[in-house]
């Protein structure tokens, strides 16, 4: 029996700061059109949360923000961060509480060199760079545990504790193995550092190894994260799915975006696989204050994140249509923003992707 297509979806939008406010409207336009082609209606509700809100009110979101967001089918996030607001405030008062409260423990980040993009690695084709990172998104190095003592003195001490649980590693590893099983190469690279982190990463290795026994059709190899970073550059064609801790995945996916040509093309999905809470979709880039306001930010990462959102809601045809349109615009010499060597602006690229939907 085929599942019926959802007819409407309610999506909370937090465009946030900087270029988030430029790329998210572009993504919304494309999503409306792509979903509308199947007769689906998307209702977007925008929330003014972010650094400007913080500067006015002293908090990044309203006190009831998480309760409000819990009523939506999904959350579409732009970027947070602005000069004058410490980065740990913008991340710890908006992105991380949403991920943690809604148990979005999977951070899925595709990293693909699209046809026609001049990536920085000489001689590499799209077949060589086609990876997905499954980053643990609820604990690890971003558990928030720790503190500072003797502030402002020469005796100051800071402690940041990574929290790794058997359950947290087991569930992210299973998600990654299941994804690897559905991909042609069926390869899984586990990012570790158990030679130096003798508690957390040894537990990580043990749990990943025990989960591997349930997925014998997947070839799983562990790599120390430093060696894996080098391998992504020197032998990207050997990497398929990566499973990583929170911090390692954050770093590896910026690297993966860079070898795919630009951070401006890299989407991310913060997924609650059990669907007990809404999932959140975002470009992986930040607010880019250096180019904010110029209208030249690449909207592809946001459009692609929007496609992942629709796929999560069961609108798979709309997802496929959006990804094909991105591939067509980039691959057939359509408009490009400066990060990809072009001179087009955000709106030109979004309009070209909308026109390429079919
Ligand atoms: N696109 C959302 C954004 O602003 N990301 C910036 C960032 O540093 N995020 C931290 C993370 O992904 O953990």
Locus of tokens 């006015």: 56
CA-to-CA distance for 222 and 242, rounded, in angstroms? 10
Residue 280 makes CB contacts below 8 A (sequence gap 6+) with 74, 75, 76, 77, 98, 99, 102, 104, 269, 270
Q: Could you tell me the CA-to-CA distances from 343 to 102, 113, 303, 331 in Å, in that order?
A: 39, 20, 19, 16
Ligand 1 centroid to 17 CA: how many Å? 11
Rounded to the nearest angstrom, the gap between the alpha carbon of residue 303 and the centroid of all alpha carbons in its chain is 12
Atom of ligand 1 nearest to the CA of 90: 4
Is the distance from the beta carbon of residue 80 to the nearest atom of ligand 1 less than 6 Å?
Answer: yes
Residue 223 makes CB contacts below 8 A (sequence gap 6+) with 189, 190, 191, 192, 231
Ligand 1 centroid to 284 CA: how many Å? 6
Ligand 1 centroid to 62 CA: how many Å? 20
Domains 9-111+261-358 and 120-145+162-259 share a fold: yes
Give me the pLDDT at residue 30, please. 98
DSSP 115-135: TT---SSTT--TTT-EEEEEE
Instruction: Tell the residue nearest (CA) to atom 1 of ligand 1.
Output: 79
Instruction: Tell the residue nearest (CA) to atom 2 of ligand 1.
Output: 79
- What is the best residue among 15, 95, 246, 298 to mutate for testing ligand 1's pocket, by most ligand atoms within 8 Å of CB? 95
CB 67 within 8 A of CB 276: no
Q: Where are the domains of the chain?
A: 9-111+261-358, 120-145+162-259
| Residues of the chain falling short of pLDDT 70 | 1-3
H-type helices in 51-148, by residue range?
Answer: 51-57, 65-69, 87-90, 96-101
**Architecture of domain 120-145+162-259 in this structure:** 3-Layer(aba) Sandwich (3.40)
Ligand 1 centroid to 104 CA: how many Å? 14
Give me the pLDDT at residue 6, please. 80
Is the distance from the beta carbon of residue 247 to the nearest atom of ligand 1 less than 6 Å?
Answer: no
Give me the pLDDT at residue 4, please. 77
Give me the pLDDT at residue 1, please. 46
DSSP 10-76: EEEEEEESTTHHHHHHHHHHHHHHHHHTTT-EEEEEE---SHHHHHHHSSSS-TTHHHHHTTSSEEE
Give me the pLDDT at residue 3, please. 62
User: Which two structure tokens, joined as six digits, stand for 213?
Assistant: 């026994």
Atom of ligand 1 nearest to the CA of 16: 4
Ligand 1 centroid to 79 CA: how many Å? 7
**pTM of this prediction exceeds 0.95:** yes
User: Which residues on neighbouring strands pair with residue 281, listed in sequence order?
Assistant: 76, 269
Ligand 1 centroid to 283 CA: how many Å? 8
Is the distance from the beta carbon of residue 27 to the nearest atom of ligand 1 less than 6 Å?
Answer: no
Is the distance from the beta carbon of residue 282 to the nearest atom of ligand 1 less than 6 Å?
Answer: yes
User: Which residues on neighbouring strands pair with residue 163, listed in sequence order?
Assistant: 140
Ligand 1 centroid to 167 CA: how many Å? 25
Pick the CATH number of 9-111+261-358 from 3.40.50.1820, 3.90.1150.10, 3.40.640.10, 3.40.718.10: 3.40.718.10
């Amino acid at each position: 029996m085929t599942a019926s297509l959802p007819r409407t979806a309610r999506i909370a939008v937090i465009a946030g700061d900087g270029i988030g406010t430029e790329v998210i409207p572009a993504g919304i336009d494309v999503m409306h059109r792509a979903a509308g082609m199947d007769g689906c209606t998307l209702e977007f509700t925008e929330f003014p949360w972010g650094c400007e809100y913080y500067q006015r009110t002293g908090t990044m979101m309203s006190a009831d923000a998480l309760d409000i967001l819990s009523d939506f089918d999904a959350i579409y996030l732009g970027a947070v961060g602005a000069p004058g607001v410490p980065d740990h405030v913008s991340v710890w008062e908006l992105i991380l509480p949403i991920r943690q409260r809604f148990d979005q423990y999977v951070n899925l980040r595709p990293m693909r060199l699209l046809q026609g993009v001049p990536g920085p690695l000489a001689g590499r084709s799209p077949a060589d760079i086609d990876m997905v990172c499954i980053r643990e998104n609820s604990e690890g190095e971003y558990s928030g545990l720790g503190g500072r003592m003797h502030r402002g003195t020469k005796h100051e001490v800071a402690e940041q504790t990574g929290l790794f649980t058997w359950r947290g590693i087991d569930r992210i590893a299973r998600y990654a193995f299941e994804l690897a099983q559905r991909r042609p190469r069926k390869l899984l690279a586990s990012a570790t550092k158990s030679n130096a982190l003798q508690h957390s990463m040894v537990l990580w290795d043990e749990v990943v190894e025990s989960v591997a026994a349930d997925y014998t059709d997947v070839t799983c190899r562990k790599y120390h994260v430093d060696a894996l970073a080098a391998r992504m550059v020197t032998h990207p064609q050997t990497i398929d799915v990566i499973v990583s801790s929170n911090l390692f995945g954050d770093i590896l996916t910026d690297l993966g975006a860079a070898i795919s040509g630009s951070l401006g093309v890299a989407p991310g999905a913060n997924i609650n696989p059990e669907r007990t809470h809404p999932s959140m979709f975002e470009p992986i880039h930040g607010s880019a204050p250096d180019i904010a306001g110029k209208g030249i930010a690449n909207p592809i990462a946001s459009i692609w994140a929007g496609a992942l959102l629709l796929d999560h809601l069961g609108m798979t045809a709309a997802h496929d249509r959006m990804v094909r349109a991105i591939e067509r615009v980039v691959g057939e010499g359509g408009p490009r923003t400066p990060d990809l060597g072009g001179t087009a602006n955000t709106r030109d690229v979004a309009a070209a992707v909308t026109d390429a939907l079919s």
